[in-house]
Amino acid sequence: MIALVRHGETATNRAGRLLGRADPPLTETGRTQAAELGAAVAAGTHPIAVVSSPLRRAMETAAAIAAPNGLEVEREERLIEIDYGEWDERGFDDVPVEEMRRWRADPTFAPPGGESLTAVQARVSECAADLLARAADDLVIAVSHVSPIKGAVAWALGVGPEISWRMRLDLASVTRIARGPSLLTFNEVAGASSRVV
C-alpha cells in the first residue's frame, strides 16, 4: 500500500496562491501538522520507506514522518508538484479568466512555461506503480503535493486528469492506494491543525 501525504501548510498556501516549484518552508502550523502526521500516518503498521518530493515543504513533512518510524527520507523527483510556470505564487484571481477556463476544460493545457495535468498524471502514475510494487504487502509513505496526489488517484480509478478539478485535497491529508490499483481512502485529515488550501 502507498500512503500519499500532502505536505503541511506554507505561507503561500495560507494566502490561497498557486504553489508549484517555488520552495517556501512550512509555517509553524505546517510543522505542527507534520508532527501530527508523524504520529498518525503509520498507525498500527511499520512503513518500509518514506519517499518525498524534493521540495522543502514536502521534505520537512517527510522528515517528521520518517523520524518516529526510524527511517530516512528518500527523494523521489516524480513526486514534485506541477510546474505552474509564470503562474507560480499567483492568486487564482490573477489568472486570466479565459486561460482558467481553458485550463479547467483541457487537461493537456499548460500554464505559460509550465506543465499540464496530463504530464503530471503520466509521471505520477509511473511512480505510483513503482511504489506499489516496492511496497508489496507493506506500507510506503510518499509525501507530495495536491496535483501529483490527485493524478495518482485518477490513475488508481482509471480516469483522466480532468477529474482533478472535482477533488478537494486538504493540507496534511493522507490518501491510500492499494495494489490493483484501488483507492482505499481519500483526504484523511490527521489532526485538528489540518486545513484546506
With residue 13 as reference, give the H or E element that holds it. helix 11-14
Active-site residue, from 9, 60, 76, 81: 81
Q: Hunting for cell 528518500 — which residue is that?
A: 74
Which member of 7, 36, 76, 115 is catalytic?
7
Q: DSSP string of 96-152?
A: -HHHHHHHHH-TT---TTS--HHHHHHHHHHHHHHHHHHHTTS-EEEEE-HHHHHHH
d(CA 144, CA 46): 20
Q: Is 7 annotated in the active site? A: yes
Tell me which residues are annotated as active site: 7, 81
